[in-house]
Chains A and B, each alone.
Chain A
Amino acid sequence: MGQIELSQVTKGFGDVTVIPPLDLRIEDGEFVVFVGPSGCGKSTLLRLIAGLEDTTSGRITIDGRDATDLSPAQRGLAMVFQSYALYPHMSVRKNIAFPLKMAGVPEEERARRVEAAAKVLNLTSYLDRRPGQLSGGQRQRVAIGRAIVREPKAFLFDEPLSNLDAALRMGMRLEITELHQRLKTTMIYVTHDQVEAMTMADKIVVLNAGRIEQVGSPLELYRRPRNLFVAGFIGSPKMNFVTGPEAARRDAATIGVRPEHIGISRDGGDWKGTVGVAEHLGSDTFLHVTTEHGMITVRAGGEVDAAHGDTIWLTPDPAHVHRFDAGGARL
């Protein structure tokens, strides 16, 4: 079990309110990703759930039990830190066994559970090494191992992949998702990387300045962003926003079109523009086009042959034009 509910939770440091009243419900077995720009309060929110920070007001319940005033250990959650926070003077085996030792699990069972966790994470041959002798990815796995041996109600991940290089990050992303499929335990994952959020989450929580902007499945957020912030944050490359007469023509203050929903033509279309930088990725080409409505990014096929300075015409797909009012809310 691992159902977590936050009701009217706030957090302030001195006079500064980091998290205004916030409600959130996380179902058992869900993979929830908190995503937002740095400083949006997502890590603070995670630490509130972990119990490493005290709530200023509000209630946190875990499996229907009030956990607001429980110590981190009593909450039965496990956390993987950004810096891994392994104990440098202990071997991998002792690191993974530490939570069990603290819980008073007998020696034999401890050894058995450490072996089992090590097997799941491919760490068996490293059990007697110190963390200092491991690579970044291996350390990450040890940190996860230390979390899973306790069989917690939920896992909390605080930007666990941000210290890894790009290739390793992709591998670990798959491993963590795979682990979730296997364990079916609730996972809460904090990241600033929307690609991680889109690929891993069952449910994404987009945060901005401590407020929840939108909660939903990755595709829901992609298809129907509730406001300008979510629209701009989810999706890569970013959604194009156009204001002025072009938006007024569609009865909106701002319209947004994703780069993949714009057609290009040499002969004619809605918006005329000049190609700036063209980024060829092989499978796709991202064109940065200067138009009278501002800079527009377009995703075209890999075979598109557009050079710097070419004149082309852009046509947004009317079915995929998002309209927003003056306050930034979706129309």
Chain B
Amino acid sequence: MATQHSRAAARLMISPAVALLLIWMIVPLTMTIWFSFQQYNLLYPDRTGFAGWSNYVYFVTDFRFAPAIRNTLVLVLGVLAITMIGGILLALLLDQPFWGQGIVRLLVLAPFFVMPTVSALVWKNMFMNPVNGFFAHIAKAFGGQGFDFLGQAPLFSIIIMVAWQWLPFATLILLTALQSLDREQMEAAEMDGAGPLSRFVYITLPHLTRAITVVILIQTIFLLSVYAEILVTTNGGPGTASMNLPFLVYLASIVDNDVGMGAAGGVIAIILANIVAFFLMRAIGKNLDA
């Protein structure tokens, strides 16, 4: 039914949705860019007007900026590494037939439903607390001392929390991909003399590449903007040890009341995300072509 007439009608019908989405995206983006070039500090309402590049200069030359960029990247890469390796192993495990499979698969998904703030607080207070935490109790049972996770290894602790949350997502996507693997292919490989490890490397892993690509892309988008877990646990500290870019934007615009500088940080975050996306698509994007 792809006549000239029906195509014109289709465009007409789809236009309100497209227009709405466009406005939805364009307005905040334009406002952010606009504010980033304005003097706009809530503590000094009298200072207004065009600020030139000064908001950007101040944001970039801030002593917290370099660590924030580094931490953002370490956080993304760390969580990706843990969730990909852990996700593949868990998916392989859950793909085996065992009693209570349905329930277990459902339970594995549970961490994904816990709000980031809640899960971070649970980790902070019930597991990583150096005195009353679960890990401290285990350490004491073996005659050791509680380790101050958030004080001594803040970024690592946050990586663990976020990885715990995203592990189910990776597991689930990889599990569904595993289940679509042709059984006869595995049997053929077995007949061809491939051991379990060779079968994994030559058959299973290539079959999973597309799912792995999807998981990496989706997770990267969300991991670049991790914020709640940092707010309720370390507040970016000690010092700048667990500060990432979204958190620095929050500090600038809310804590320092400098909306202009916050907006400049926001624009920089957009640029960083696009750079990451560019390299990611170049590296693994070809896996998405059929």
- The residues of A with any CB-CB pair to B shorter than 8 Å are 50, 52, 71-73, 77-79, 81-83, 85-87, 89-90, 98-99, 102-103, 146, 150
Contact = CB atoms under 8 A, between A and B. Distances in A.
A73 B193 contact: yes
B188 A89 contact: no
Nearest to A78: B191
B190 A99 contact: no
A180 B192 CA distance: 20
Nearest to B186: A85
Q: Which 10 A-B pairs have the closest CB atoms?
A: A73-B193, A85-B188, A99-B192, A85-B184, A102-B193, A89-B206, A81-B184, A85-B185, A72-B191, A102-B194
B193 A79 contact: no
B213 to A, nearest CB: 13
Contacts of B185: 85-87
A83 B198 contact: no
Contact of A52 (B187, B194, B203, B207): B187
Contacts of B194: 73, 98, 102
Contact of A103 (B182, B184, B193, B209): B193
Contacts, number: 56
* Majority-rule SS of A interface residues: loop
B190 A52 contact: yes
B202 interface: yes
Contacts of B203: 87
**B187, B192, B193: most-surrounded residue (chain A CB, <10 A):** B192
5 contacts: A72-B190, A79-B188, A81-B187, A87-B206, A150-B192
A297 B185 CA distance: 44
Contacts of B209: 89
A89 B206 CA distance: 7
Given A98-B202, A102-B198, A85 B187 contact: yes
A86 B188 CA distance: 8
A75 to B, nearest CB: 9
Given A72-B191, A146-B188, 8 more contacts: A52-B190, A81-B184, A86-B185, A87-B185, A89-B206, A98-B192, A98-B194, A99-B193
B230 to A, nearest CB: 40
Contact of B191 (A79, A89, A90): A79
A41 B20 CA distance: 61
A107 to B, nearest CB: 16
A150 B194 CA distance: 13
A171 B185 CA distance: 25
**B185, B193, B198, B206: most-surrounded residue (chain A CB, <10 A):** B193
Contact of A50 (B182, B191, B198): B191
Contacts of A81: 184, 187-188
B65 to A, nearest CB: 43
Interface string B223-252: 000000000000000000000000000000
Interface in B200-215: 202-203, 206-207, 209
A191 to B, nearest CB: 17
B186 to A, nearest CB: 8
